[in-house]
Amino acid sequence: MKRRSFLAALGAANLAAAMPRVAFAADNQLSVLLPPWGTLPKAMSDRFTKETGIALQIQTMGWDDIRTKVVTSMVANTAPADGVEFDWSWVGQFGAAGWFESLDDLVPAETVADIPTAKIFQYDGNLLAIPYNNDFRILIYNKAHLEQAGVAAAPKTPDEMLEAARAVKKAGIAKFPIGIPLSATEGTSTAWYLMTMAFGGDLFDADFNPLFTDPNSGGYKALAFILTALQEGLIDPAATGLKDTQVQELFQTGEITFDVAGWAGNLAVYSDPEKSKIADQVAAGLMPSTEGKSRTFGLPEAVGIPSIAANKEAAATFINWIAKPENEIEIYSSLGDLPPRLSVLEQLNSEGKLFAGDVLIEQSKTTEPLFKQGTPGWYPQFSSAVCSTINAAAKGQYGVEEAIAEIASQAKKAMDR
């Protein structure tokens, strides 16, 4: 049965209309917990306070640390904050635990309809969070590196990427041209998922049976690709200690050629001369594919309200505020978070304000959910096993066959828990 919100009587439209000045006699203090790429600039947080009358306190933590804090806090019956980062991969676990408030009566229906990825955050018929980041993966590369190496165009297949990277390395342009994180963190897992798609594969069938164990499968070939690139010196051996954000920093300084699992929103940062050393060199291409059709998956991030939060009304106001078109545009300009509203993306592209907009729009049309059945509650355990195993393989502790077998074994254990 659908849970009813504590503000159901207000209605979403009334809440939106009240946003310019919301009266909270008892408490107008709002705490929000977000990762660095979601933390509003001070000018925006000050404007939020001016427009709503709510004092905003933003806590910034690393993505992995936020999940740990949410779990430990909610188990201890203490809210980590009033508004909290809610990743796509946490839907199954957090939804089953009943840790987050339903937003169905707190966010206008027209806003939800304009955010296609909002459906990823539904659990048992309830909308648990609203995306602030329209994250999907796209190939980002340094076009100057390719030109200097005599490579005419962005690679359209994984093999073409290897050949281009070899040419760049041979020419002495970049010592380690391919940027992929190989640490025991989520960014390593998602890079493997993406390369699995590039090789025409999927992770599981409809019954969650692994589809990556056969040597001819996309997942098997994806891991072989990664380890081959590492063995050839196309990936920095130090990548075993790098998170995805650190790989992005290397790309931004011109040290690597391909940000293989690039965040689409990062194009705004990479192309900004004030933030990037390679602003005039960055370019985007569709994700390479062995099937002739590019594929990618969505990894949106959102904000939700813990069910035991102290100030749910203020948190709902914050969620609606950051979803306003003008605020999505400012967040995109300052943080690089690609707007989740379709209307905003189209507006930016028509105004020439979306870097590589045509490619972004084309890639966005190929976006798929990683799990077509919905993100399972055991996903965090599976992802942890994936990145830990790939990290061990990158350190020489597993070959491809052994690593794949270990991932499959850990997947079964995760499902059986």
Q: Which residues contact 76 (CB under 8 A, 6 or more apart)?
A: none
Q: Which residues contact 321 (CB under 8 A, 6 or more apart)?
A: 19, 48, 51, 52, 327
Beta strands 55-60 and 301-304 are unpaired
pLDDT score for 3: 29
Radius of gyration of the chain (CA): 21
Per the structure block, which two tokens stand in for 181? Answer: 């994180």
The candidate with the shortest Cα–Cα distance to 310, out of 30, 104, 86, is 30
Q: What are phi and psi of 395, to 5 degrees?
A: -90, 5
In this predicted structure, which of 152-161, 292-301, 347-356, 359-368 has the lowest mean pLDDT? 359-368
Q: Which residues contact 51 (CB under 8 A, 6 or more apart)?
A: 19, 20, 21, 321
pLDDT score for 144: 98
Q: What is the mean pLDDT of residues 123-143?
A: 94
Q: How far is 275 from 99, CA to CA, in rounded Å? A: 38
131 DSSP β-pair partners: 302
* 68-122 pLDDT tens trace: 999 999 999 999 999 999 999 899 889 999 999 999 999 999 999 999 888 889 9
Q: How far is 110 from 91, CA to CA, in rounded Å? A: 22
pLDDT score for 332: 87
122 DSSP β-pair partners: 127
pLDDT score for 21: 35
- CA 162 to chain CA centroid, nearest Å: 25
Q: What is the dihedral of CA 157, 386, 208, 136, to 10 degrees?
A: -50
Q: Longest C-alpha distance within the chain, in Å?
A: 67
Handedness of CA 395, 239, 134, 103 (dihedral sign): positive
Mean pLDDT, the chain, whole residue set: 90
Domains and CATH numbers, the chain: 12-135+298-368 (3.40.190.10), 137-297+378-416 (3.40.190.10)
16: number of Cβ within 10 Å: 20
| 386 to 51, 236, 311, 363: CA distances (angstroms) | 44, 20, 37, 26
HSE at residue 127, side-chain half, CA atoms within 13 A, is 22
pLDDT for 16 beyond 60:
no
pLDDT score for 5: 30
End-to-end CA distance of the chain: 25
Q: Reduced to 3 states, what is the DSSP secondary structure of residue 312?
A: helix
301 DSSP β-pair partners: 87, 133
* 300-352 pLDDT tens trace: 999 999 999 999 999 999 999 999 999 999 998 888 789 999 899 999 999 99
pLDDT for 17 beyond 80:
no
- H helical segments located in 271-399: 312-322, 325-335, 342-350, 357-364, 379-394
Q: Reduced to 3 states, what is the DSSP secondary structure of residue 298?
A: strand
Q: How far is 73 from 387, CA to CA, in rounded Å? A: 25
pLDDT score for 27: 59
pLDDT score for 76: 97
| 348 to 269, 344, 356: CA distances (angstroms) | 15, 6, 11
pLDDT-derived band at 268, boundaries 50, 70, 90: confident
pLDDT for 364 beyond 70:
yes
* 109-125 pLDDT tens trace: 999 999 988 888 999 88
Q: How far is 57 from 315, CA to CA, in rounded Å? A: 11
Q: How far is 167 from 151, CA to CA, in rounded Å? A: 8
